[in-house]
Structure 1
Amino acid sequence: MLNLAVILRESAESRPDAPAVMHDGGTITYAELDARSDAVAAALTARGIGPGVAVALQLPNIPAFPTAFYGILKAGGVVVPMNVLLRAPEIAHQLRDSGAKSFITWAGVAAEAAKGAAEAGLPEPYVVDGSIDELTVPVTEPFPLCSREPGDTAAIVYTSGTTGLPKGAELTHFQMYMNADIPGRIFAIEPDDVVLTVLPLFHVYGMSSAMNLGIRFGAALSLVPRFTPEKVLATIERDRATIFDGVPTMFGALLAHAGEHDYDTSSLRVCVSGGDAIPAHLLDAFEERFGVPILEGYGMTETASTITFNPGPDDRRAYSVGKPVWGVQVQVWDAAGRRLPPGREHIGELVTRGYNAMRGYHGQPAATAEAYDRGWLRTGDLGYADEDGFLYIVDRKKELIIRGGYNVYPREVEEVLYRHPGVLEAAVVGVPDERLGQEVKAIIVRRPGHTPSEREIVDYCRDRVAAYKYPRLVEFRDVLPLSSTGKVLKKDLA
């Protein structure tokens, strides 16, 4: 038997009075969080939610999220986390596709959620407005964890849907437990740590690498519902946060804001970057300004989060995404599916296998079969390994630009652009070209106080990369489109 909710029960038994959740409204202890989730589990059980029944959960980073998340698991249910920004047709698709029988949503999106539920043929969703107390049944004894097998599905997490409709990756209790346990051991998380939790908990990165990881080791979660640099820096100061998990755009925004304001961030001891490759200049500048290392890792929804991670502050290799974590294998394959040797000149697709690989896409055996090749999960990411086994991500396979028969990796050009003093943010995409097939285009957000021209940007890149790589097209924008986790949406730019 293994029910992922055991991580909360064990921490509550060993540290009942320790803080589990810090938020703007106060602090919730481990004993309180365990009891509140017990009450949710009892209510769900009374409503017919039992082993294997899917429950959709659409909440921001508020205390009700971990309360409901572990309550659903305790009842034996399957959590279907949903983005709070989804529109009614998207909500309906995920509800239908997952087979959810119940739906918990947030008051801030209740109207859209109700439309989606109606379209999917579900009853009115339960609406959380700050507290989840109404979805509880008082309990006097600890709720007995529903018996689940390690290979049973704990969550169905939907992909970003960059191609076609989002697919639901089935992640098991064992996978999610290991993806909390192994990374936490790598950077030696302690019960006294405070994990600044601003990554959306409905996303696998925030769910596994912040929430489950923190709860597994009895640390405190400092919840921030929405990212702004001011709010994050102020919360680090208020709660004395020691660990910050983020994506590159968050680190860039924090760095820019901290230069103009004074916050006490001396409590931070380690930062974790994932979700996208962090530009080298940003990593260096952030570490110099804040005096704290950034450990870069790599993962995907289909692997319950983590595939690789840097070995720790003392053994990391800057600019790499580290090595495969315990129990996970990674290889680099060429287009014919042959393993490539180490070296920057041997770029190919990363494939992985191990306990972390999903059971499959829910209800989509054909898509599941397509995702695997001889037992290896194809990531769709291009990279290479060095002689010591450290991995480096070059780009997404689908974002590769083929200009006149030459491969152009957007990230390589972006790294050059970020070194220009007038560039705040940059994204490089391929656009159709009748003669060359694709042309290289740079979309840039200027740094305040700087006004680089298109010609200046083109000339700057031409002096620093091969002739076939530099952008011939340049567009300036006020902002770049971002996903809910802060990743640049290149599909909206191409």
Structure 2
Amino acid sequence: MLNLAVILRESAEIRPAAPALVHDGVTMTYAELDARSDSVAEGLRARGIRAGDRVALQLPNVPEFPIAYYGILKAGAVVVPLNVLLKAPEIAYQLTDSAARLLITWAGAAGEAAKAAADCGLAEVYVAGPVPDPARPFADLPAPVTGSFPLHATEPGDTAAIVYTSGTTGRPKGAELTHFQLYMNADIPDRLFALNPDDIILTVLPLFHVYGMSSAMNIGIRFGACLSLVPRFTPEQVLATIERDRATIFDGVPTMFGALLACPQRDRYDTSSLRVCISGGDSIAATVLDAFEQRFGVPILEGYGMTETASTISFNEGPDQRRVYSVGRPVWGVQVQVWDCDDRPLPPGRDHVGELVTRGYHTMRGYHRQPEATAEAFRHGWFHTGDLGYVDEDGYLFIVDRKKELIIRGGYNVYPREIEEVLHHHPAVLQAAVVGVPDERLGQEVKAFLVTRPDAATTAEEIIAYCRERLAAYKYPRLVELRDALPLSGAGKVLKKLLT
């Protein structure tokens, strides 16, 4: 028997009076979080939710998220996290595909959620915050509990959460993540940077995304640390919260680190409490990493993972053992190889780029109700990540690009990330995304989308000339488009599928 919610129960028993959450300056202890999630579990059971039933959870980073998340798990049900930015048809698809029996959402998404629930015949909808008809307030869901709610006796291989992929090709697929998989991802990676109960984790990564859910929330709760919840990323809000709560750890994606660097007010805030930053979700540009470490005086440890691995595959082992610009080595119990297009292992070295494949405790059960997609992903007993990279002689992994984002220009392979690294060195460039666009003569042409720094200016012609001096003729972008902003996912990752 293993129920992931045991990480909360045990931390509450060991440190009941310690702070578990802080939000807008208000603190909730471990004893309070455990008790309130118990009440949610009892409320779900009173409404007929049984082991294995799906409960959708569509909340930003507010206390109700962990309260509901661990309550759902305690009841033996399956958490289905939903992005708060989804529109009604997208919500309806995930509710229907997961067969959710109940939805917990928030006021900011209640309108779209209500339409979706009506479309798929879901009557049980609870809203945190101001409640529109016909939904009910979240406060109506919890029920009184005598003593502690007994954790449902789930098996380690039972599904704990169904997390939908970003849907870069076709409709999103629901990755079934198990109790054991999520527990191990909460227990192993954080040991590499010595997380301890006195740490305060600045939690701005969306908890509905696997990175925030697994690598911030579950890790923090597993080791009795405090989560400083920030519902929405803005540079000023994050900097102010680090100062107010004396945060020691900041988990982010590359766009967040870039935005903090570019923030005009950054010098007004005291961020000296930070001892380590974690970057994931996408590859961070070397220039951003170096500049951030120099300005804030804190190391960035880069890791690598994905929804299907919940989330960690590899990680750098602390400031003294990391290999800068790599995504570290596979964490304990995880194997990674680099395969060519014929599924044959490649030797180490940067000249041997191939697809990263992995196996171990960290991989999902499969894609929900999609056996063919599951079989394709797990060819030859290894999970195929769809990421291109190589491994060096010491076992450190280096990500080159997404396999599906590879540009083939006139028969030559062009890796967008290599061009983006060059673009980030330009003093006027704040954000860069490179994609392939159709071309009648060459098959694909290289196009760059840029956001410039507020205090800088450039032109498309200048950028093209800059790249032409630094890249081979078949690599540099012939097309450059300057934009005010790039489309981002709820987790802050650039959505290249929306760039054409």
TM-score range, shorter chain: over 0.9
Q: CA deviation at 1:239?
A: 0.4
- Residue by residue, what CA displacement relative to the aligned partner does 1:243-265 show, whole Å, maximum 9, x if unpaired? 00000000001111166531110
Query: Of residues 161, 173, 184 in structure 2, which corresponds to 1:155?
Result: 161
* More displaced 10-residue stretch of structure 1: 414-423 or 196-205: 414-423
Tell me the equivalent position of 2:219: 213
1:482 aligns with 2:488: yes
Rounded Cα–Cα distance in structure 2 between residues aligned with 1:14 and 1:417: 50
Give yes or no for contact 1:114–1:124 (8 Å, CA) kept in 2. no
Rounded Cα–Cα distance in structure 2 between residues aligned with 1:448 and 1:122: 46
Number of aligned residue pairs:
494
Rounded Cα–Cα distance in structure 2 between residues aligned with 1:434 and 1:115: 43
Q: CA deviation at 1:109?
A: 1.2
Give yes or no for contact 2:101–2:124 (8 Å, CA) kept in 1. no
Alignment of 1:12-23 (within 5 A): 12-23=12-23
Q: CA deviation at 1:370?
A: 1.3
Rounded Cα–Cα distance in structure 1 between residues aligned with 2:92 and 2:183: 29
Tell me the equivalent position of 1:289: 295
Tell me the equivalent position of 1:273: 279
- Residue by residue, what CA displacement relative to the aligned partner does 1:63-112 show, whole Å, maximum 9, x if unpaired? 00000000000011000000011111111111111111111111111111
Q: CA deviation at 1:449?
A: 3.1
Rounded Cα–Cα distance in structure 2 between residues aligned with 1:78 and 1:52: 6
Rounded Cα–Cα distance in structure 1 between residues aligned with 2:332 and 2:119: 43
Rounded Cα–Cα distance in structure 2 between residues aligned with 1:460 and 1:270: 34
Distance 1:269 1:25, change over 3 A: closer
Tell me the equivalent position of 1:469: 475
Tell me the equivalent position of 1:192: 198
- Residue by residue, what CA displacement relative to the aligned partner does 1:17-73 show, whole Å, maximum 9, x if unpaired? 000000015000000000000000011011111211110000010000000000000
- Residue by residue, what CA displacement relative to the aligned partner does 1:157-202 show, whole Å, maximum 9, x if unpaired? 0000111111100000000000011011111100000000000000
Rounded Cα–Cα distance in structure 1 between residues aligned with 2:68 and 2:25: 18
* More displaced 10-residue stretch of structure 1: 194-203 or 425-434: 425-434
Distance 1:258 1:236, change over 3 A: farther
Distance 1:374 1:179, change over 3 A: same
Alignment of 1:325-404 (within 5 A): 325-404=331-410
TM-score (norm 2): 0.97
Structure 2 unaligned residues grouped into runs of 5+: 131-136
Q: CA deviation at 1:436?
A: 0.6
1:407 aligns with 2:427: no
Q: CA deviation at 1:448?
A: 2.3
Alignment of 1:129-278 (within 5 A): 129=129, 132-257=138-263, 260-278=266-284
Alignment of 1:46-125 (within 5 A): 46-125=46-125
- Residue by residue, what CA displacement relative to the aligned partner does 1:366-396 show, whole Å, maximum 9, x if unpaired? 1111111111111010000111000000111
Alignment of 1:397-436 (within 5 A): 397-436=403-442
Give yes or no for contact 1:118–1:124 (8 Å, CA) kept in 2. no
Rounded Cα–Cα distance in structure 1 between residues aligned with 2:374 and 2:216: 27
Rounded Cα–Cα distance in structure 1 between residues aligned with 2:482 and 2:212: 31
Q: CA deviation at 1:269?
A: 0.4
Rounded Cα–Cα distance in structure 2 between residues aligned with 1:402 and 1:346: 18
Q: CA deviation at 1:421?
A: 1.0
Rounded Cα–Cα distance in structure 1 between residues aligned with 2:164 and 2:349: 34
Give yes or no for contact 2:236–2:266 (8 Å, CA) kept in 1. no
Rounded Cα–Cα distance in structure 2 between residues aligned with 1:196 and 1:134: 30
* More displaced 10-residue stretch of structure 1: 115-124 or 183-192: 115-124
Rounded Cα–Cα distance in structure 1 between residues aligned with 2:404 and 2:366: 21
SS in 2 for 1:261: helix
Amino acid aligned to 2:109: V
Rounded Cα–Cα distance in structure 1 between residues aligned with 2:456 and 2:143: 59
Distance 1:117 1:25, change over 3 A: farther
SS in 2 for 1:413: helix
SS in 2 for 1:349: strand
Rounded Cα–Cα distance in structure 2 between residues aligned with 1:453 and 1:23: 43
Rounded Cα–Cα distance in structure 2 between residues aligned with 1:120 and 1:376: 36
Q: CA deviation at 1:124?
A: 4.3
